[in-house]
A and B are shown apart, each in its own frame.
Chain A
Amino acid sequence: MARFPFSAIVGQDEMKQALLIAAVDPSIGGVMVFGDRGTGKSTAARALAGLLPPIMAAEGCPYGASKEDQARYPGVCGTGKMVKRTVPFVDMPLGATEDRVIGSLDLERALRSGEKAFEPGLLAKAHRGFLYIDEINLLEDHLVDLLLDVAASGENVVEREGLSVRHPAKFVLIGSGNPEEGELRPQLLDRFGLSVEVRSPKDIEVRIEIMRLVAENERDPEGFAARWAGEDDNILKRVARGKARLPKLEAGEDVLRDAAELCLAVGADGLRGELTLMRAARALAALDGAKKVTRKHLIAIAPSALRHRLRRDVLDETGSTVRITRAMGELFG
């Protein structure tokens, strides 16, 4: 089935913004999407796959190695010449086995010739791209640990009976889940750069618009995709330009101070929040095509960057989003 065009997704602006920011600057560290079922979380994440600018990767390399990877992992990534390919988007199913995730003995070759060879898993496939896990809060603990480990180190290490493989595995983790069905461990949550909350749109007009678009898509997927292709292409160009602009952008002293003050005011734990806030503001500025990072960018991204890092205060049932908005109102007016 054709993917639903990203630009045809109605509303859900925060989620779309966060996904695009992660596309511009993968080092932000992933996006966690919280929300009820049937709110279009998966649709948006999967739609993202369709509009990422292509990358250069070694031909025939199962890891999609870049030039740098070839230099760093000479044995693994080969010396193939560079060709254009799409950014990988790996949809990891719940209940994936450890073997499938990290890779395992190549069964075919082991059986055929008694040869010991490594068959790359999902982590290898996701290198330089996106790893999407729906209902990540229901994922088994040992897999979560494994993902965290690889996400943090950017490399997957497999050691088993002389099957010793180290390969690059840098990916943007996109998780989605419904907090009502089980909480995410704080360690995992903290790893995510951005987190967004998605609700079913309550506005009747918006809901009608969504029904209409989905029905159109259902009836004529090709025509529908063609109609939105222009819009999608614009977004793709925005992402590509943002990526190119990113290294040139630097956040000024004033924005740095704003970020520090905001983190202090809302009680966001750790330095990670501050760093992510800065990076995300920078990526947003790049995405917007702005000349420099301003307070406006900071404000636009702060809820996504900090929401999941606030210390929980059981006596204050005010939502994290409200606390951040309030703090921003007090600080920045």
Chain B
Amino acid sequence: MNPNAAVDPLADAMLAARLFALAPRTFVGMSLRGGSPARDALVGALEEKVTLRRLPGHVDDERLLGGIDLAASLSSGRPIRQNGLIEEAQGGALIAGMAERMDIGIAGRLAHALDDGQAALVLLDDAAEPEEAPPASLTERLAFACDLSASREWRGVKLAPALGTLAQVALLETQALRALAVTAEALGVDSLRALIFAGEAARGLAALDGRTAATRADLSGAVRLVLAPRATRLPPQEHDAPPEDPPPPPPDGERDDQSESEQQQETDLSELLVEAAKASIPADLLAQLAQGNAPRRSGTSGSGQKRKSAIRGKPLGARAGMPRGGARLALIDSLRAAVPWQAVRRKEAGADAASPILMRKEDLRIRRFEERAARVTIFAVDASGSAAAARLAEAKGAVELMLGQAYVTRSEVALVAFRGATAELILPPTRSLTRARRALSELPGGGGTPLALGLNAAREVAEAVIARGRSASLVILTDGRANIAADGSPGRPQAKADANAAARAIAARGIDALVVDISARPGPEGAELALALDGRFLALPRADARMLQAAISAGQPTGKAA
């Protein structure tokens, strides 16, 4: 699929590393994905150019930002300050392993330091699951992101020294800036930061070669290194980038005198850049687009899919509270809270210096954890006469299979059925197989298709699920041929309009949706519905339950919250 698959990704990563070493403050940093030997070799090579200071994942505030060293202060009886890691890394860079597990608070601190130009950062991203990623607040601020997981190289990694400096390179001409801006647009890169990085990278590439102006090759290199990894869509094919979509017209008179040929040149340049980008657009973007998914735009820091818990999950910082209701005492943090008070309390209580630590209720800290929210898949099943009875049986089968999976994936299933003039929640979110089976077998078929009612009912269930901190996705099994309006009255035009409105309301809530067309001869209605839902579409004219289930699991965005 990737035309340049033969070129090892390490080559570009090395180029990025050289740029980073050239001007750590300008490029802020890089994120290196994939725990391959190539990455270790690259980090080793980078370390010869830039001092890298390790940032442990469990670093606390005092260590990160500096402050009073509690242990040393206590043993010496006077306050002893220590420098934070950020200060220690001045002039060099911090390097964080397992960045995909980084605590959001630490990421926030680091983002600040990066914004102030106090630090540069290398992130090592070992994410195995697609939904894991380093905090987006950091990756956005780093110029480069290189995926080395597919690299087979590791020998002789050495970063050639730069022949010039960034300051020697002239600022980019308007034409070059425009080409970058147009390319960013074609790739769906909205962030201005990325655009700014791209411009600096083009200059940086010229600096590496000791030149004083950036060339076309530098621009395409910058696109490949900075813009392509951030692409959210594929650039339009040459043939569907038609003449009716010309480069933006000059906004005012000053560009009127620009000759035709210059304009042509500019278009050529941006086409060239888009071409350069295609080779290094991340492979999973292609895969995700092929699946009909929008790529993850902003990482995984959405609050909908994670929630705090006092009982289980990934550990978060402790906070003040009583250890009850299942919450557990965070002993170290409690002691830490109590220690500064000891001198004060001894004095007040008149206790002697040898007495044990004096704890008070306010010192108690409890542990908190972060849980992955459970996913609830809501099936909205069209049980009308037009969706033939046989298909209904298949839909039932698929729901049963999904339920079987629920034990493995911890996801839950709910079922909404609509027929005649009503839509009802037949099965509230559950993991219970028996209940589901019973509800399904009692599901009757026949009557009109109140699609709008069905969609609204499904939306209400989804909203309730989201309100409880879980993520919801909808699977709508229908032929899309609505003929009952939202108020229960028959009539196709009104029914269609209502269904459309209901679908858009779901899209507006950002609920993930999949439309499965279960009619024997799929018409355009199903696809239109998917469009209004901003969701995906599957036509399964000859589906059996198992195929349906396979389609649903394949289309299921891997853990992405609704």
Contacts and interface: CB of A to CB of B under 8 A. Distances in A.
Interface of A: 1, 36-40, 42, 46, 91, 93-98, 100, 105, 107-108, 110-116, 134-135, 137-138, 141-142, 160-161, 178, 180-183, 199-205, 207-208, 210-212, 214-216, 218-219, 314-315, 317
B248 interface: yes
A141 B343 CA distance: 33
18 contacts: A1-B116, A36-B190, A36-B298, A38-B190, A38-B193, A95-B105, A97-B61, A135-B137, A137-B303, A161-B344, A180-B510, A182-B301, A205-B248, A207-B195, A208-B178, A212-B174, A215-B171, A314-B509
A1 B505 CA distance: 45
A316 B464 CA distance: 19
B325 to A, nearest CB: 16
Contact of B297 (A112, A114, A180, A212): A180
Nearest to B81: A108
B108 A160 contact: no
B340 A107 contact: yes
Interface in B153-171: 167, 171
Interface in B41-79: 61, 68, 70, 73-74, 77-79
Interface string B170-208: 011010011011101100001111111001100000000
A208 B176 CA distance: 9
A94 B248 contact: no
Contact of A94 (B107, B172, B192, B502): B107
A212 B170 CA distance: 12
B220 interface: no
Nearest to B486: A315
A164 to B, nearest CB: 13
Given A111-B77, A208-B181, A211-B177, 18 more contacts: A36-B190, A37-B191, A38-B190, A96-B105, A107-B70, A112-B77, A114-B343, A114-B347, A115-B344, A161-B341, A181-B136, A199-B190, A201-B192, A205-B248, A205-B251, A208-B178, A215-B199, A317-B504
B501 A204 contact: no
- Most chain A Cβ neighbours within 10 Å, of B77, B78, B112, B167: B112
B26 interface: yes
A120 to B, nearest CB: 15
A43 to B, nearest CB: 9
Contacts of A94: 104-105, 107-109, 111, 137
A180 B68 contact: no
- Most chain A Cβ neighbours within 10 Å, of B172, B174, B298, B301: B301
Interface residues of B, number: 75
A160 B362 contact: yes
B344 A181 contact: no
B26 A218 contact: yes
Contacts of A100: 61
A224 to B, nearest CB: 12
B340 A210 contact: no
A97 to B, nearest CB: 7
B172 A215 contact: yes
Given A314-B509, A317-B504, A39 B251 contact: no
- Most chain B Cβ neighbours within 10 Å, of A40, A111, A178: A111
B404 interface: no
A95 B540 CA distance: 48
B320 interface: yes
Interface string B296-307: 011101111000
Contacts of B510: 180
A216 B171 contact: yes
B106 interface: yes
Nearest to B67: A107
Contacts of A183: 303
